[in-house]
Amino acid sequence: MKGDKLVLQDYHKRAAREIVSRILRDVEREKTRYVITVAGESGCGKSETGKAIADELEKTGIKSVVLGQDDYFVLPPKLNDLKRREDPEWLGPHVEVKLDVLEQSLVDAIQGQREIVKPLVDYDSNSIEEEIINLDGIKVLIAEGTYTSLLRHVNTRIFVSRNWLDTLEHRQKRRRGNEVGDPFIEQVLRLEHKIIAGHQHLADILITKEYDVVFIEP
């Protein structure tokens, strides 16, 4: 998403190193493109973790692309916020997010397409544009976003186990408008917490509140 500000910390990079060292052989063995998802609550560090994993893969010579769920919202940010305030039902993966379009982006990549056409949200202008991603040489796709655990065509699912209270400091650093401290937004985050509470059980890799990496044995 245009206008988003990432704040990569040492703990994001450390977690990425552990994850890449664990899955690298699987990535190399995969005959098609490899898909990783990074899910969790707002402000938990999904975007930073996805970028850190991409950077770590790059060090091994493996090129990747990060797809942010924020680009796949039905409405641009400010209109989506207004819709949430007007309609109590306007929240969740099957209402405000085009998960099917994100899924198709992954399918196209897995099937060997040389490029994908995807939406691109411009936060500052509150608009949604179109973006073409060239996939030449790309081996890994990293889909990061609150509900990405629900995507089907995935090799490795990562879940960041931090709730909206744990993420307050990080959300303040990435401050978008007047979101932090807005009682309505805090209520949305509480509801979001309930929606994805069970998603961590879908994960192959858990990142704890302290950003330790836990590999779930099958």
3-state secondary structure of 108: helix
Q: pLDDT for 37-54, tens place per residue?
A: 999 998 899 999 999 999
- Interatomic CA distance for residues 208 and 47, integer angstroms: 16
- Which tokens sit at 207? 């990142």
DSSP β-bridge partners for residue 64: 140
Residues 6+ apart with CB under 8 A from 184: 84, 85
Q: pLDDT for 157-187, tens place per residue?
A: 999 998 767 666 655 555 544 555 688 888 8
Q: pLDDT for 66-78, tens place per residue?
A: 999 999 999 999 9
Q: Which of 96, 28, 13 is nearest to 61 (CA)?
A: 28
Mean pLDDT value of segment 105-113: 97
Least confident of 29-38, 119-128, 129-138, 164-173: 164-173
- Interatomic CA distance for residues 84 and 71, integer angstroms: 17
Please report the pLDDT score of residue 172 as a whole number.
Answer: 57
Q: Does domain 10-208 have CATH number 3.40.50.300?
A: yes
- Which tokens sit at 180? 């932090």
Mean pLDDT value of segment 142-165: 94
Residue 87 pLDDT level (bands cut at 50, 70, 90): very high
pLDDT score of 98 more than 80: yes
Task: Report the mean per-residue pLDDT for the chain.
Answer: 92
Least confident of 123-137, 157-171, 200-214: 157-171
- The percentage of residues in the chain with a pLDDT greater than 90, rounded to a whole number, is 77
